[in-house]
Structure 1
């Protein structure tokens, strides 16, 4: 299953003033958080541990990571079983909960959600919300 693909965004109604990589920021933020929170799949944890190390050491931003390590795609193999279940419940575009949180926390004053900077400071602003959503979700699973 593919959760997101930057191509879906930059090939559609996308701001002309931004590079296509800006379409990877929102998914990159979620994926980086998931990997750094222990929700990573074997692809990143076992097969390519340098991917996780790159994030841990902040050698690249979350959006850059998604573009480089994931070919602009966020797929189910990026996550472990718990990560997939949480992503299905929270990241899923049909439910819209992640994007609502993302927009409320990061893009209220910006022209679009694509204008959110792909930085570790942005990640730090979003992380507490994601941590809380995961904790709430885990409580509901008991």
Structure 2
């Protein structure tokens, strides 16, 4: 990794729920819906153990509770104020997130798999079934990415 790319990754904020609910967010939905897609991605990061020591130190209880399905993606994201930034991920987690999430592929996959015919991506429901669908797709993208970088 070049020094320039490392500097970019070291300051990257991939997403923030605030940008969604202060933007073009449907008035008919509760604000919590702006957190869901972020929480689904963060949940995948947790399951793949691509999070940083900082995140583990700060969110150890939430990581444990998510893995046990005691809290869902929306709550996971709300605990972090809908923030998804570089310091939450380890090196590999950041590299993949930069490629997949920041590159816009995650949003396209999420839209296609979960939002489909819904009015917007914010209309997706927070269910473990939906999480499993997107998790499977992210796993596929992750394996493809690993082949690209090897």
TM-score (norm 2): 0.88
Q: Taking structure 1 as reference, are residues 48 and 113 closer, same or farther at Cα in structure 2, changes over 3 Å only?
A: closer
Higher Cα Rg, which structure: 2
Shift of 1:47: 4.1
Given that 1:44 and 1:51 are in contact with CA atoms closer than 8 Å, whether structure 2 keeps it comes out as no
Tell whether 2:106 aligns with 1:90. no
Distance in 2 (CA, whole Å) between partners of 1:121 and 1:55 is 15
Tell whether 2:90 aligns with 1:80. yes
CA RMSD after TM alignment: 1.1
Distance in 2 (CA, whole Å) between partners of 1:57 and 1:63 is 15
Shift of 1:113: 0.3
1:123 to 104, 116, 131: 131
Distance in 2 (CA, whole Å) between partners of 1:100 and 1:90 is 10
Distance in 2 (CA, whole Å) between partners of 1:96 and 1:72 is 18
The one-character-per-residue Cα deviations of 1:82-126 (angstroms, maximum 9, x if unpaired) are 00000000000xx31110000010011211100011221110111
Distance in 1 (CA, whole Å) between partners of 2:38 and 2:59 is 19
Given that 1:35 and 1:79 are in contact with CA atoms closer than 8 Å, whether structure 2 keeps it comes out as no
Please give the secondary structure, in 2, of the residue aligned with 1:48: helix
Number of equivalent positions = 139
Distance in 1 (CA, whole Å) between partners of 2:127 and 2:85 is 22
The answer for unaligned runs of 5 or more in structure 1 is: none
1:48 to 56, 59, 82: 59
* Residues 13-52 of structure 1: pairs in structure 2 closer than 5 A: 13-52=24-63
Q: For residue 107 of structure 1, what is the aligned residue in structure 2?
A: 115
